[in-house]
Chains A and B, each alone.
Chain A
Amino acid sequence: MRTFLPAVAEQLFRDIQKIYEETTQIPDDLLIALKFVFGTCALQALDLVDQRSVTCLSSPSGRKAFQVIGGSGRLYTCFLSCHYCPCPAFTYTVLRRNQGLLCKHILAVYLCQAMAVTQQESISDQQMSAVLSGTGGP
């Protein structure tokens, strides 16, 4: 995902990507930085990463979207180019209270992308349209 992120967050993900490529671990200082920048959803997002909860869906047209399995088992669809998640935390904390940049699901997407642990799944163009519109899913 591009844009919508402060420079400090973008740099943090670049640092995580680099160190994870070399060591397959995230050192304590970067974990602390994650908590500092993103607050309580940092640990929750890392749990989702550990559970390999993020899947990148792609269709023959080239269109892509992310799906995240939440803690309750519910599927959340997030977009590539801007921040959106249908979860209540995004609606309340980000949209209504403007108290956070993103929810744990979107953060989990960023982390999985940085760590290259995103699952991949191919679906048809029609299925992709249903996923994007929120009317269906694979």
Chain B
Amino acid sequence: MTDILTLVFRTLSSQTGQNKDPSAGPPPPAPHSNTLVVGEHRLSRSVLLLAAVTAASELGVRVAFFAQTQIQSLPECLQRCSKITFSYPRTLEELLQQVASLHEFPCPPSLIIIDRLDGFLRGAVASSHAGFHSGDESRAAHLAALLCDTAAFLTEVLEKRGSSSAPCRTIASFLSDADSGQESRDPSAMDPILDVLDRYFQARCTLDQDRSYEAAAAAAQEAWHVYLSGTKIPDDLEDGPTLAQEWKLFIFPEGLMEFKLV
């Protein structure tokens, strides 16, 4: 999936003074990687939407986009795009059912996007001191494994049909407790749900806001660091090329987004 993200970043990179050589920098991992986007929701949703549009328009693949909350201001071009299907399951159970039933579709998607996994996984009982409860580790693993298995199955289907849309990829966003700014949480503690998700998502895209003066220097409203990395894999497992890319994202007052490869 990071190949699609890299395509998004290159498409939106500056036209001047930017090396657009596809061979620049380390190669992205095998395209069948599942990618987890971690960071602030406002930006991660934009990244997911850009990925959906890029995949549908540049690669011509079908996209299944799942979100818990309806996207209120969907651009008209997206509303009219027949290659992207938006679904709004309200609960984890509904999401599991909808992902599990993708194999029933005659024209399966090549890209499955889930916006805000944390929203679906968060326990039903509100708690003032913890976002997740012990049972959520199993639920997180179930959802992630279902995504993984569904993508693997749909890849086989697409390859058997000789479709150029193969393989099927997944990308999901997750707002960890650290990113949500839970002050009561020990900042040195790892997020157990993120640990579980890392087992099933081979690559990670981390969005980290730059709070220095770099945005102002670029006459931008916001500046972000975007890191593409591979999650840890046991030493004796066969793995692909190591992924390590860094991009800089500038967001200008009129909403324009510009990526630069670092």
**Chain A interface (Cβ < 8 Å from any Cβ of B):** 3-8, 59, 61-65, 79-84, 86, 90-91, 95-96, 125-126, 128-130, 132-135
Contact = CB atoms under 8 A, between A and B. Distances in A.
15 contacts: A5-B237, A6-B234, A59-B103, A61-B104, A79-B145, A79-B149, A80-B153, A84-B146, A91-B141, A95-B141, A96-B137, A130-B97, A132-B96, A132-B149, A134-B96
A129 B103 contact: yes
A91 B137 contact: yes
B97 A135 contact: yes
Given A6-B237, A63-B103, A126-B104, A133 B141 contact: no
Contacts of A61: 103-104
Contacts of B156: 62
B202 to A, nearest CB: 10
Contacts of A96: 137, 192
A84 B141 CA distance: 7
B137 A86 contact: no
Nearest to B135: A91
Given A7-B236, A81-B148, A126-B104, A62 B153 contact: yes
Nearest to B202: A3
A96 B192 CA distance: 8
B81 interface: no
A135 B96 contact: yes
Contacts of B93: 133, 135
A91 B200 CA distance: 14
Contacts of B141: 84, 90-91, 95
Contacts of A86: 138, 142
Interface string B194-206: 0110011000000
